[in-house]
Every structure is written in C-alpha cells, then in structure tokens.
Structure 1
Amino acid sequence: MNKKKLIFLLFFIMVCSILLFGCSNERKQAEAFEQFSDLLSNQEYHKLYDLLSTESKEYITEEDFVTKYTNIYSGIQARDLKVVKNEIERENKNNVIPFSVEMDTAAGQVNRSDYQLMLVKEDGKWKVQWDESLIFPAMEKGDKVRVRTIKATRGSILDRNGYPLAKDGELKTVGINPAVFDKHNREEKIRELAAVLDIGEENIKKKLDENSNPNYFVPIVDLLPDDEKAAMLQERGEDGIFVNSKNSRVYADHEAFGRLVGYIGSITAEELEKNKEKGYHSTSLLGKAGLEQVYEDTLRGIDGAEIYIEREGLREGIIAKQEPQNGRDLQLSIDFDLQMNIYDEMKGAKGSAAAVQPTTGEVLALVSSPSYNANRYTTYITRKEQQGREESQFADEENRFSKLYSPGSVFKLMTAATGLEKRTIDPAKQIAINGRSWKKDSSWGNYSITRVNNQSAVNLKAAVKHSDNIYFAMSALDLGSDAFIAGAKQFGIGEELDVGYPLSTSQISNDGSISREILLADSGYGQGEIMVTSLNIALAYSALSNDGHIMAPSLIQTKGHKAEVWKEAAISAEHLATMQQAFSAVIQEQGGTASAANIEGVQLAGKTGTAEIKASQADEGGTENGWFVATDIDSSAISLAIVLEDVKEKGGSSAAIPIGRNILSDYLQN
C-alpha cells in the first residue's frame, strides 16, 4: 500500500471515529435530557436531584432543592407540566440543550422557550449543571417567586330600577388591640362593648384568649357602614377599640329581600370538590341561598393572578399574568318599594305574597314572611335577633313564596271560567240551594259540603260575591273531572313555572287525576288536593286585567326580552266581561267578602279564600290559611296575591284583606 492510500485510510478511520463518537455523545446527552424532562414533568424532585453535577450539589442541598421546587410549583399551582426539547442543529458545541416548558398555573398558561440545560460529563455520564434559571430563566440565586391574586368583582343584583339588592361594598370591622385594651379596665370595657354590640361577653373573651400576639388586631364583629354602633365606637382608639374597613358583600338592609336574594359564604370542602373544575379555591366565596346560589355562575367573578419574581424586595419580572373576570350583574323585575311595603304590611306573620304586572308577566314582588336580613351572614346576629328566631322556632328558615298552599276559594276563578267555556254554567241561571249543607246523594255517606251564606237561590255573580262553596262544588261535578282538569291547566295549574327561580310545581291532585266524586266536588271550590303558590294565583287573576290572557312570568330582566303570552285566553273574550263583573262584585259591592278592600277610584276584581287544613271533615283542631287576591282592571298595573298561615283565630281570610288594601292603595295611588 502506498503512502497516499495509507494516509487516506487513517484519515477515513479518524473521521468515522469522530462521527461515531459525536453520535454516541449526542445520543447520551439526549438520554440525559429525556431523564431530566421526565422527572421534572412528573415533579419527582428527589430523583431529579440525582441528575445534578457535583458542583451543583455543592451549590444546593437535596433538601433545599426539593423544598424550593415544591414550594414554588405548588405556590403557583403548576400542573400539566410539559418539558420539550427545542429544535436545534445536530452540532452541539457547548453541551447546552435549549428547551421549552409549558404548564398551567394560577395565572394561566406559562409557555417559555428560553430555557437552557447545561450538561457536564462526570465519570463518563452527563450531569445537569443546575441553578435557579432552570426553574424560571430570569431567576437568580436569592430570588423569590410570588403570586398575587387580582380580585374579581362579583356581579350585583339589582331591582327593576337599578337599585342594588346585593353588591360588593364595604363593611366596618370592630376590633381590639389587646396591648392597649388590656392595660386598664379590661372587664369593664368587655361588658360595655358586649352591651353596645348586643353580643355575649364570652364571645369577646374567647377571641381575646385565642389571640397570642398582644399587638395583633383582634376582629370582634363586622357592621354595615351606616350602623350607629360603628359611629359610637369610632373614636375609642385610646381604649384599644378600633373600627377598620374591609371589602365584603353588602345587601339591601331589609328583611324583605333575604329569602329572595339569599347570601354568599365560604366554600366547604364538599362544595370545592363538586366545583373543582370551575376554578374555585379553598378561600372562595359562593352563593349559599336564593338568587346568589341560583345564579352563581352568572354573578361569580373569577379572580385573576400574577406570578412574578421578587429580587431584594422588588418586583423583577412577570412570569405570567391573568386578568380577573368580573361577574355579570343580574337585574330583576322586582320593585324595591313594593317588595318592602308588602313585607312590612305582613308584620312578620307567616305567609307569602306575589305580585305581577298583568300585561308583561314581570314579577314585581316575591315575599316570604318572616324572612331575614341577608347582611347577618356577612356581619353577625345580635342576641335580640337570635332570641326572636328561637321564639319563632326559626320560622325565617322556610321559603314560603316557593311553598305550596291549598288555594281555597280563590280557585273558584278557574272553576267559573271553565264552566262558562264548557257551557255547564249559565251565569244568569239561579241555582236553588237549600240550607248551608249539601251532598249529592246518599252515596256520599256522612260527607257534605258547607257554605257560609244561606241564599235559597244563587247565580254565578252571587256565588262569587258570597263565596258559595256548594255552587262551585255542583259546577265541578257538572264539568266532570276531565274538563275540570283541562280548565285548571289552562291557568297553568299543574305545570312548572319557568320564572327564573326554582319554585314548587302546583298540582291539581296528588296523582294528577280526579277519580272520586267527592274529591272533584271539593276541588271545585279549591279544597281537595289542589296545591298552588302565591305566584300561581297572582298570575291566574292577572287574566282579568289582560283581556283574558296570562303572560309568561319573568323575574330576570335581560336585554331584548319580549313579553310573551303563556296561557292564551285562559278566560275567553266571550266570557271576560261576565268574569270581571262577578269578581269585581267581591270588592266593589256591599256584602262582597272583600268589600273592605275597596279603594275609591280604583276598579279592583279579586277574591278571598279560606283553606281548611285538617285531617277529616269532623276535625275541630285543624288550622286555616287565609287568601286575598286582587287585580286592577282599569290600569292593569298589578295583580297581587297574599296567603297567611294559621288565621283561624285571626278572622280567617279577612286577616289578609287590610294588608292587601294598604299595599294596593299605596302602589296604585302613590
């Protein structure tokens, strides 16, 4: 072999060796990166530490290394971590592998492509040369990673005129600085503070005893900004009593709105688990009752966050930032003054009331009595209020505008309208009825239907005016069960009320049918098994003020919403005037069961009703619920229904009449 060939062969061997070595070297570096990538992605920090070079292990201990990664990644809520090698040229002169990191965090997704993994060879193996830049490229030794929450605003709940029923606002926190408070007259000041706030002295002592730092502000209670107690305690700093401000949810300061609006509270572990995909965290607040709960997804604001590097106490650079998403406002059709006036007129009596605008279906009021001031869930409950709740056996805990009641005689509107439509009632015909008790025949045994009036003959108008149970029992039997049920459904009875708030669904009977004659007769005058809400009745009577139609009820006002007919011709045009005349007589004419509700200059049509709640006809110990419903025929501004519980010793249905008259007079005349 000549010299030239030998040189070429040696050169060829050398090149191949270099290439093979380079390929082997690159492959081993790639393997080292894959190890690093897998362990970091799976957040296996102890194993990751094993990949570090000797120099790196002198730089940071394993404990500090694991703690640093754990604290930082958990603090920013890092999840779904992906470590990906960047596309680079084959030649890697500096033993540096560029890579990218993607992760979801409290501040949204982080996607950084400027990472560099430096490798050094030790004992034939490639090791990671580590420093803080492998956590975030801009990090240096001594830096801290901070997370700042950017608070979102919860949407407000507004009445029809934009008045806030619930909004994010400010409360006053009454608290104590123990270092000053305990210096002199401690017990005397505790007694005084407890008396002013109307709380137990033991509550104050307990909070003070649980505090370990005498210079720490110990919060005692929160107050509304205009609470006179806040003003009384404002200038007591020399005694160690301070009043500070805090952000909070603030509600309309009246019990009329508690059951409807509801309140928010701290999320429970169970609620957090149920809503874990929605971005809640352990300190989140969410709706616990009422509209706050029903419209949680609309009202809730989603907090934003910012992740940044802090160097020597200063913000050095932003890693990620997510702006907050404020909640959306909820505007109601509720009239603030009307809702409050109805509640005040009911004076804490157990019951419900509903009011609608007959020509639009807008719900003007939904009242449950007694109710609560929702601010008690963001402030506190005084001893006086708690005592009242206990004495009422916590009556404020029941939502009565969602409750079903037997309608009694207010249901006679449906029986009358159906009888007229099916021609089983001739409004002018005088029906002979003898005495105050009646039964169809001997098949009824000892069961009979009674009435309070004793006319020997009555027509439709007289039967409505004097609330003749026997007339309407006869009318129901003449109709038959199928026609009777169809007529009730024409007024929405037995159908779900899609009003924008979950209400109990009314019923015609327990199973939807009426197979027994006595049950049909009782149903004709609103007894039997018929159950309704106060809103059902307000809607039914609104037909008298809206050409016989019932509009689809709506509680939530949305842009572009159009009023729609829900039940067309519930009262047919042919019989509307007859019905208006009959049900106006109840109020407008002397001797009508609700003549005490007459308002001069206002044309009202309506009805009273007494629903008996007893185990059997012979039961003498049963209770009674009293109804009053009225709608103004002239202006068609309002249809109002009120039901009061346990009125047997309070005048029966007449107990609700003055309440209704005062409300309607104020609303229609003022």
Structure 2
Amino acid sequence: MKKFIAVLLIVFIVSACSKNPTNSATPTSGLPTPGVTTVAVPDVAVTVNQFLDLWNNGDYVGMYGMLAQTSKDAVSEEDFVNLYKETASALSLSQLDTGIVSTLVKPASATVGYQVNFISNLYGELSRNMEMTLVNENITWKIQWHEGMILPELTGGNHLASSIQAPSRGDINDRNGNTLATETQAVALGIIPNQVSWEYEPVLVDTLSGALNEPKNIIREMFKDGGDNYIPLGEITQAGYDAHATTFDSYGGLVKNPYTSRYYYNGGVASQVLGYMKLISAEEIDQYTRLGYARDAQI
C-alpha cells in the first residue's frame, strides 16, 4: 500500500511540472522590414549642354535661370545679361561652337571641362578651354557662375572692349566727272523760327534757297509753324556755307552744326543707285556691333 501511494505522488509531481513547459520561441519587435530607396544623380552633361546651347542662342535670361542660388545672390539678372551682350558685341560674335571635354561627378557636386570656339565676324575664330562647377540642389544640377566662364580673361571683373577704325569711303562720280557722294566737311542747317528777326526774313530765305537748292516757298513752308522748336532745313558742304557765311552769321535763329560725314550733293540724287547712310538706332546697336560695326558708325 505504501508503495502505491509513493508511485501516485511521483506521477502527480511529474504531471504538475509538465503543465508549465519552457517557451523557446524567439521574440520579435513587431516592426516591418525597413525599405531602401536609391535616387540616381542626374546626368550633368545634359545640364551643361543646355546651358551652352542657351548661350549660343543668345538666351541669357534662360542661362541665368540655371544658376545656383549663391551665384544669383552675387550677380543680378540685369548685370548678367548685360555682360554677355557686351562681350558678344566686343567680339563681333557670329556664333559659338561648344563641347564637353571632361567630367568629374560626385553626389553633391560636379566639375565639367568645356571648350568654346568663338566665331567672330571681325577676328576669325578664338578658342578657350574653361571649367564649370555645378552643385546638386534638390536633385537638379545648378551652376556656380563667375565671369571667367565667358572668357578666362574676364576673371576678377574685367571687361572686353574693341576699337574699330573704318577707312573713309571712296567718292562716287557720274559719267561726266561730277561728284555725287563724297566724304567731306559739311554743315547741317536748321532754324528756330521765333528767334529770327523777321524784317530780315526775306534775305535769309533767299540765301537759304540758293544754298540748299530749294524753292523759297518750300523753305518758308518748312518752318512757318515751328515756333520755339528746332526745324532742320538741310545740309551743305563747308565750302558752300563759307560762300554765304556773311549772311548766315548776321541773323539770329539760324543754327549751324558742322560735321565730317558722307555728303550727297544736290540733296542726294539717284538714291536707288547710291543708297543712303544713317546712324545706327538704339534698337539696332546689338545687331550691328555683332556684325563688326562701331556703335557710332553710319550704315
């Protein structure tokens, strides 16, 4: 009987112990596996070629839009555009040939070597090798700009200028040897009507008619309602003015402006053959200086 009770106690103890087995599972945090996203660095050559193409097309405002913010803080859009225009005019620039020669790319910056061939209407072809530094701003390449990226010689705030001296044009004569156009000393005549002493007006009009080869009624019609305004009347050679100087210098209201220029006799005849010349207008200065003309040239 005692043996039976002992066996029951052993079975009970073993059974009681087996109700709390050891948990051997590995604990987890309950968080998802982290994801990794890779963003590729944009192609720096695309940005550089776009900048150089805008330069060749004269889109300086578009170029300015590609600058890094630090560069925009250092130079205004107006100064940036004016410097490129000024340099193009000084070079008499026709077009650019550009190309990338080297690249060094890092995640946050890049250095690109490039060559520019300046094709000038006056000076032929000039070639320069330069470097461009770019920074990665919000996954977009932006250019750290300085003056030396136009020409190395402009580094430090230098400016390019040209001095053009055009030779005098030859005379044009008719078949009888009469001069139709020449380079000479001339005088532009004008009048301020309200300053004329009208008791002498008939003599003045008569002299102007002979000097300018215009009828008297046309001369009077030109300035009759001029008041205090300057009214241009015409041009004569310096020799022609000297022949009437005593009369011209005796009366108030007549304005004389001597100059050296192309002069067309008899008011300009056969203009369909000779053509004519004029000063370059403000709107045309950029166009003509890039063609090789001086800013004060007559065309």
Residue 103 of structure 1 deviates from its aligned partner by 4.3
In structure 1, distance between residues paired with 2:142 and 2:77: 15
**1:47 maps to 2:62:** yes
Distance 1:136 1:190, change over 3 A: farther
Residue 119 of structure 1 deviates from its aligned partner by 2.4
Distance 1:221 1:70, change over 3 A: same
In structure 2, distance between residues paired with 1:72 and 1:174: 35
Q: TM-score, normalised by structure 1?
A: 0.28
In the alignment, what sits opposite 1:58?
A: 73
* Aligned residue identity for 1:128: I
Q: Pick one of 270, 275, 278 that aligns with 1:265.
A: 275
In the alignment, what sits opposite 1:221?
A: 234
Q: Is the 8 A contact 2:191 2:233 kept in 1?
A: no
In structure 2, distance between residues paired with 1:203 and 1:167: 25
**1:168 maps to 2:182:** yes
Residue 266 of structure 1 deviates from its aligned partner by 2.6
Residue 263 of structure 1 deviates from its aligned partner by 5.6
Identity of aligned residues (%): 21
Q: Is the 8 A contact 1:148 1:305 kept in 2?
A: no
Distance 1:155 1:131, change over 3 A: same
**1:107 maps to 2:122:** yes
Counterparts of residues 447-466 of structure 1 (less than 5 Å)? none
**1:231 maps to 2:250:** no
Q: Pick one of 154, 157, 168 that aligns with 1:153.
A: 168
In structure 2, distance between residues paired with 1:201 and 1:177: 11
Residue 78 of structure 1 deviates from its aligned partner by 4.0
Q: Pick one of 184, 201, 206 that aligns with 2:220.
A: 201
For residues 550-573 of structure 1, what are the alpha-carbon distances to aligned partners after superposition, in whole Å with 9 as ceiling and x for unaligned? xxxxxxxxxxxxxxxxxxxxxxxx
Q: Is the 8 A contact 2:186 2:258 kept in 1?
A: yes
In structure 1, distance between residues paired with 2:48 and 2:119: 22
Q: Is the 8 A contact 2:191 2:254 kept in 1?
A: yes
Distance 1:190 1:121, change over 3 A: farther
In structure 2, distance between residues paired with 1:208 and 1:76: 46
Residue 250 of structure 1 deviates from its aligned partner by 5.4
Give the root-mean-square deviation of aligned CA atoms.
Answer: 4.9
In structure 2, distance between residues paired with 1:210 and 1:76: 41
In structure 2, distance between residues paired with 1:282 and 1:33: 27
In structure 2, distance between residues paired with 1:190 and 1:143: 57
Distance 1:40 1:155, change over 3 A: same
Residue 230 of structure 1 deviates from its aligned partner by 4.5
Q: In the comparison of the two structures, how many residue pairs are matched?
A: 235
Counterparts of residues 29-40 of structure 1 (less than 5 Å)? 29-40=44-55
Distance 1:141 1:56, change over 3 A: same
In the alignment, what sits opposite 1:241?
A: 255
Q: Specify the structure having the higher radius of gyration (Cα).
A: 2
Q: Pick one of 120, 127, 132 that aligns with 2:135.
A: 120
For residues 125-184 of structure 1, what are the alpha-carbon distances to aligned partners after superposition, in whole Å with 9 as ceiling and x for unaligned? 4321123333444336876666655334333456999x6745632142143586xx86x5
* Aligned residue identity for 2:95: D
**1:130 maps to 2:106:** no
Residue 117 of structure 1 deviates from its aligned partner by 2.2
Residue ranges of structure 1 left out of the alignment (5+ in a row): 1-23, 212-217, 269-280, 284-302, 308-670
In structure 1, distance between residues paired with 2:154 and 2:188: 43
In structure 2, distance between residues paired with 1:166 and 1:176: 23
In structure 1, distance between residues paired with 2:275 and 2:173: 20
For residues 67-119 of structure 1, what are the alpha-carbon distances to aligned partners after superposition, in whole Å with 9 as ceiling and x for unaligned? 6545764787644333223x45x668995434333344553545231443232
* Aligned residue identity for 1:81: L
Residue ranges of structure 2 left out of the alignment (5+ in a row): 1-39, 210-215, 279-285
Distance 1:144 1:164, change over 3 A: farther
Residue 219 of structure 1 deviates from its aligned partner by 4.6
For residues 32-69 of structure 1, what are the alpha-carbon distances to aligned partners after superposition, in whole Å with 9 as ceiling and x for unaligned? 32221222223333332221011111123445544654
Q: Is the 8 A contact 2:185 2:260 kept in 1?
A: yes
In structure 2, distance between residues paired with 1:53 and 1:61: 12
In structure 1, distance between residues paired with 2:276 and 2:287: 8
* Aligned residue identity for 2:255: I
In structure 1, distance between residues paired with 2:232 and 2:125: 39
In structure 2, distance between residues paired with 1:99 and 1:64: 24
Residue 238 of structure 1 deviates from its aligned partner by 7.3
In the alignment, what sits opposite 1:511?
A: none
* Aligned residue identity for 1:221: G
* Aligned residue identity for 1:197: L
Distance 1:81 1:205, change over 3 A: farther
SS in 1 for 2:67: coil
Q: Is the 8 A contact 1:197 1:229 kept in 2?
A: no
Q: TM-score, normalised by structure 2?
A: 0.55
SS in 2 for 1:84: strand
SS in 1 for 2:169: coil
